[in-house]
Amino acid sequence: MVTAKTDTSSSNLDGISKNTKLTGRTEEVLLAIAGGLKDIGPHGLTRSELARRMGLNPSSIKRHVDRLLECQLIEASGYSLQLTLAGESRVMKLIYGK
């Protein structure tokens, strides 16, 4: 029997890499979500509120929000966006460089 060795050193529990490449704009969207949640509170941030805060059309941020959802850095509950633990960690890395 052959068993495969899995390297989990750069993965979170769901198998998504902690170092997933994001564009600069997608990172800006992630930071804007974090900032919006700080201002609004734990109830979440809607896509339209996020777009308003960034001065963009909601359709302009859809691709970035979809990428963040795919990478499991944010989650959506109805219309509300929230950071996941991986997302919070990524925000801290972007802010503090750690």
pTM of this prediction? 0.76
Q: For the segment 46-96, what is each residue's pLDDT rounded down to a tens digit?
A: 999 999 999 999 888 999 999 999 999 999 998 899 999 999 999 999 999
CB 80 within 8 A of CB 45: yes
Please give the pLDDT value at position 75: 95
Three-class secondary structure of residue 7 per DSSP: coil
Residue 14 has pLDDT above 80, yes or no: no
For the domain spanning 24-96, the CATH number is 1.10.10.10
**Residues 65, 47: contact at Cβ < 8 Å?**
yes
Contact 25, 54 (CB under 8 A): no
**Adjacent-strand bridge partners of 11:** 17
What pLDDT is attached to residue 76? 94
Q: Which two tokens stand for residue 44?
A: 């979440």
Mean per-residue pLDDT for 22-48? 89
